[in-house]
């Protein structure tokens, strides 16, 4: 049979989201190792600690403790660590987030015997040398000085402060005075109290000997209970704040409110509602404020679910004289979703784009591990993403309207404008 290339193939839409099974091993020290097998010989070993901003006693301590891990240990100097990893083509990624700190290494599986001892030493025996801390502090202060001139940076900073409160881990910012007050002793104490591995995630293809080396090494790590976080309630700030910068011709706008975590029953449908509003290029905010009104090059809305709280935010940059009009148009779009049902054609487009985007997020073993990590660290069910797909697929216009009415009342929104 000859293929007629003038006839396009039949369109078939099949959306599903079932994460591959991971292998979970409980080591002799009660540490869980979560292994996602892959076909490639590049592996990722990711150590997760309950050592984020939520637990830090002083602003900036979590960040600097994490960043200083590679700046020297009992066996290796910072230069030796960098040279060994570079020689073996390994990449180290360290990040301190709101709730967790991650120390991850990418390397070829054959190089594990050379790379693993270095990683294990820096996560067990860091020394926090003063000269390395001073260099990091100087770099941080220079970056802070540069960022503080950016309207977008200031708008996000004050927006988070106003919603969560200046003393709340999710609302607190690190200022120069905070950085100047940090000492190696602060970092050493924070490490001692909170840097016990919570879980370890392994991704990639391994021989039996390579896997045995990893498991035997991880079994020797000291696992202890991390202190429980205290209540982080903090009084919120101004609901509407406008910071004028006379020399600036542009204004950065942030609008939104505190919301919920991934475990909340409204999370899946709200994810779709947010996507329709400002989550992709064909969203309502982009069509109205960028394409029709020409007020900005880009505008977005997003939902950020932390472990303890969530945040909904609309953000954009516009000319100063158009800032008030832009805020009015954003509020109109929120109001319109409360008063008028979303057309089925628009709903279908938004669903397809969102579900397709989620499917792309599991296109390789490393991204699959990230999804599995999210379900475990946020204490979600193992079928969380399957249920997410089902709920999004079945969400109706009336469901979105009810969510918009409940969560987007103007009296509940915080607005910050800088410029």
23-218 and 240-418 have identical folds: yes
pLDDT above 90: residue 90:
yes
Fold for the domain defined by 240-418: Cytochrome Bc1 Complex; Chain A, domain 1 (3.30.830)
Q: Does residue 76 contact residue 118 with C-beta atoms inside 8 Å?
A: yes
Closest by CA to 138, choosing from 194, 96, 180, 168, is 180
The residues, any chain, with a CB within 8 Å of residue 159's CB and separated by 6 or more, are: 254, 256, 313, 414, 416
pLDDT for position 20? 83
pLDDT for position 12? 52
Percentage with pLDDT > 90 across the chain: 87
Domain boundaries defined on the chain: 23-218, 240-418
| Sequential DSSP letters for 339-382 | HSPPPHHHHHHHHHHHHHHHHHTTSSHHHHHHHHHHHHHTT--T
φ and ψ at residue 171, rounded to 5 degrees: -110, -15
Average pLDDT over residues 366-373: 94
Percentage with pLDDT > 70 across the chain: 95
What is the rounded average pLDDT for all residues in the chain?
93
pLDDT above 80: residue 17:
no
pLDDT above 90: residue 185:
yes
How far apart (Å, rounded) are the C-alpha atoms in residues 279 and 139? 34
pLDDT for position 235? 73
pLDDT for position 237? 82
Please name the residue ranges forming H helices in 279-317.
Answer: 284-285
Closest by CA to 167, choosing from 82, 283, 53, is 53
pLDDT for position 222? 87
The CATH superfamily assigned to 23-218 is Metalloenzyme, LuxS/M16 peptidase-like (3.30.830.10)
pLDDT for position 236? 80
Q: For strand 240-243 and strand 414-418, is the pairing parallel, antiparallel, or unpaired?
A: parallel
**For residue 27, how far is the Cα from the chain centroid?**
28
pLDDT digits (tens, 9 = 90+) for 220-245: 998 877 766 665 677 788 899 999 99
């Amino acid at each position: 049979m000859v293929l007629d290339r003038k006839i396009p193939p039949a369109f078939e839409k099949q959306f599903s989201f079932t994460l591959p099974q991971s292998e979970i091993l409980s080591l002799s020290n009660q540490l869980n190792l979560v292994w996602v097998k892959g076909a490639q010989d590049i592996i990722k070993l990711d150590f997760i600690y309950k050592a984020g901003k939520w637990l830090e006693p002083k602003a900036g301590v979590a960040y600097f403790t994490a960043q200083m891990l590679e700046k020297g240990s009992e066996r290796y100097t910072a230069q030796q660590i960098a040279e060994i990893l570079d020689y073996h083509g390994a990449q180290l990624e360290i990040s301190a987030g709101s709730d967790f700190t991650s120390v991850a290494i990418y390397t070829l599986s054959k190089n594990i015997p050379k790379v693993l001892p270095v990683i294990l030493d820096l996560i067990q025996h860091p020394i926090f040398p003063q000269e390395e801390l001073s260099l990091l502090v100087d770099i941080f202060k220079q970056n802070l000085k540069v960022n503080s001139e950016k309207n977008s940076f200031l708008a996000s900073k004050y927006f988070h402060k106003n919603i969560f409160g200046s003393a709340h881990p999710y609302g607190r910012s690190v200022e120069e005075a905070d950085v100047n007050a940090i000492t190696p002793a602060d970092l050493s104490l924070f490490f001692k109290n909170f840097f016990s591995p919570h879980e370890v995630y392994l991704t990639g293809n391994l021989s039996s000997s390579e896997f045995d080396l990893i498991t035997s090494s991880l079994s020797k790590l000291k696992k202890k209970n991390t202190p429980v976080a205290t209540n982080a309630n903090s009084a919120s700030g101004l609901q509407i704040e406008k910071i004028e910068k006379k020399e600036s011709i542009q204004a950065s706008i942030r609008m939104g409110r505190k919301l919920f975590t991934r475990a909340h029953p409204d999370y899946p449908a709200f994810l779709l509602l947010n996507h329709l509003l400002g989550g992709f290029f064909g969203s309502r905010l982009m069509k109205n404020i960028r394409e029709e009104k020409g007020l900005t090059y880009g505008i977005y809305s997003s939902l950020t679910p932390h472990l303890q709280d969530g945040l909904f935010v609309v953000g954009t940059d516009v000319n100063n004289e158009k800032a008030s009009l832009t805020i009015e148009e954003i509020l109109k779009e929120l109001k319109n979703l409360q008063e008028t049902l979303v057309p089925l054609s628009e709903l279908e487009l938004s669903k397809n784009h969102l579900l397709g985007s989620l499917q792309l997020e599991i296109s390789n073993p490393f991204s699959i591990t990230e999804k599995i990590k999210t379900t475990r660290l946020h204490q979600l069910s193992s079928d969380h993403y399957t249920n997410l797909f089902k709920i999004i697929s079945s969400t109706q216009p009336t469901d979105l309207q009810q969510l918009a009415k409940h969560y987007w009342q103007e009296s509940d929104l915080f607005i910050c404008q800088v410029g």
